[in-house]
Structure 1
Amino acid sequence: MVIKRINVLKLAIFQGALMAAFGLLAGLFFLLFGSMFAGFGGHSGAGLIGGIGALIFLPILYAIFGFIAGAIGAFVYNLVAGVVGGIEIEVE
């Protein structure tokens, strides 16, 4: 089997959704550790607000950049695959 072409929009949507999930995970870490370390300094409210902001902002930011990177990656793959013939995959 040879992958000759990748649908740019489908890959961009997939990559955006995958990166949004990673952004949610990163936001959870910011929420957890930001609240914990802010509590050491006596400013627990600031760490919680920053963590909640990260929990909202990071998945959106990751999704946008993931979508753009997926679209660019698929477009470049299609250009290169047209020249070299694509990726050959052996399956059983």
Structure 2
Amino acid sequence: MKRRIKRFGVVQTAAMFALVYFVFMAILMIPIGLFMTLAGLSRFSEHYSFLNGFGSGILFLFLPFVYAVIVFVMTAIACLVYNLIAKWIGGIEVEIADEIDRTKNPFQ
């Protein structure tokens, strides 16, 4: 059975994508940020400033939040554009199969 996606809920879709990307970025960036912060605290040479390592480490800790905000805004804009275009051409067409519930009658 073919169905069309007529519209996306803008806020719900944007929030979902922002949270997914926040989790991915947190998994990647928080360990890097902690490592860079510790590296910045442990290196005291005249060519390597204390704030360079520490500051960039702190930046990596905040990147998941910044990335989530950017993804939220961009996804909201994309959903608005999709909803506008879908009114004109009908949206994305998908084919959905009905599943048979075999728990009620296993011999169907």
If the length of structure 2 is used for normalisation, what is the TM-score?
Answer: 0.65
Alignment check: 8 A CA contact 1:23 1:61 kept: no
Partner of 1:78: 83
CA-CA distance at 1:65 after TM superposition: 0.3
Q: Does 1:53 align with 2:34?
A: no
- In percent, how many aligned pairs have the same letter? 33
After superposition, residues 1-92 of structure 1 pair within 5 angstroms as 1-28=3-30, 30-31=32-33, 34=36, 47=53, 50-55=56-61, 57-92=62-97
**2:95 counterpart SS class:** coil
CA-CA distance at 1:41 after TM superposition: 8.8
CA-CA distance at 1:70 after TM superposition: 1.1
CA-CA distance at 1:59 after TM superposition: 1.0
* Bigger Cα displacement from structure 2, 13-22 vs 77-86: 13-22
* Bigger Cα displacement from structure 2, 21-30 vs 31-40: 31-40
Q: In 2, Cα distance between the equivalents of 1:41 and 1:21?
A: 33
Return the index of the structure with the highest Cα Rg.
2
Coordinate RMSD, CA, aligned: 2.8
Alignment check: 8 A CA contact 2:34 2:57 kept: yes
CA-CA distance at 1:20 after TM superposition: 1.1
Q: In 2, Cα distance between the equivalents of 1:31 and 1:37?
A: 10
CA-CA distance at 1:23 after TM superposition: 2.2
* Bigger Cα displacement from structure 2, 61-70 vs 22-31: 22-31
Alignment check: 8 A CA contact 1:3 1:86 kept: yes
CA-CA distance at 1:50 after TM superposition: 2.9
